[in-house]
A and B are shown apart, each in its own frame.
Chain A
Amino acid sequence: MEQEAKKIDRKHILWRNSNWKKRLNHLFSDIENWGKNFEKIEIQKSNIPQAREELMHKFDIDPDTVPAMAILLDKHRTSFVPMGLWVIGSNGRVNITTQNNQYILVDLGGDNDEPSQWTIVNPSKRKERISFDQNILKKIIEDEDIFV
């Protein structure tokens, strides 16, 4: 928060927001490509209203929409819903929900256009972090508990 205070102006906030959508689109594109290995998979993409971000509000920038995604495989539905960009402790957060599990996916990459490091964190146990990749996606789609 203090770091943001040193460099923020309207142009920067607009850039961060545009960069957030770019990173989300990249993430969902990866998920879509990884999902091609499954038969009978259905991908549903949508745009949802962006939650209030204080820094955008401060610079009179209206909330936009952000991409969201759901994957249907047989009777399993897995959804990816962005929660927010300005999240202390990470560079954006996406919720993952299946029928039986809920996960917090965060980008631990830097906030200056560094490559994303999408990681699933476990708030209940110390330092349980799992890099989000094709193998983990498979387990999530099949509704396995990845922290067991």
Chain B
Amino acid sequence: MKGYGLIRQAYSQVEKYYIKIIDDAVFRKNNAEYLKFIEFSRINEYAYFVLFWGQFESLINDKAFEIEGEYFKEIGFMLRVQLLVSQTHEFYREIDRYYYWRCELAHGRISEFPELTLATIFDKIEEIIETINNNPLPIGEDFYDFFKMEND
């Protein structure tokens, strides 16, 4: 996960810079500066989230291509995810949520968006990536099959 690690490190360096500037503004009682840099920090988080998500989307596309060939281009992103993660699995709901945020941010709704705790969000996405990479079957498929048998 080299690309993911680099993005995390790059984000961390810039965020530390903002934390220092924000503290300095508070210390000098410069409220305008403090509030301005909180906004900058927030925008920085959005940018790195979208960048990190791009890496994840690329992985999903590669995996979908392995399964469906060129046909994968015909289906939407969450359908590609369904090739890899059962809809009944918690990861599917997590990915759906992150995808919603990514679309909100990528389509310009930044002014209505709250701050992100990127450290915990990055951790969760990396956990999902690791599980996808280590599972030949869609994640949660056993449960899905069992559910179908119960309902047949």
Contact = CB atoms under 8 A, between A and B. Distances in A.
Contact of B19 (A2, A89, A102): A102
B117 A90 contact: yes
Interface residues of B, number: 36
B19 A95 contact: yes
Nearest to A48: B26
A95 B117 contact: no
B100, B114, B116 — most chain A CB neighbours (10 Å): B114
Interface string B5-38: 0001101110110011011001100010011001
Contacts of A84: 38, 114-115
B31 A49 contact: yes
B12 A122 contact: yes
Interface in B87-125: 97, 100-101, 111-123
A124 interface: yes
B19 A88 contact: no
Contacts of B35: 49, 51-52
B13 to A, nearest CB: 8
Given A48-B26, A89-B121, A126-B123, A54 B112 contact: yes
B22 A86 contact: no
A125 interface: yes
Nearest to B19: A102
A86, A108, A121, A129 — most chain B CB neighbours (10 Å): A121
A89 B52 CA distance: 15
Given A87-B117, A95-B19, 10 more contacts: A2-B100, A48-B31, A54-B114, A86-B114, A87-B115, A102-B23, A121-B117, A124-B8, A126-B122, A126-B123
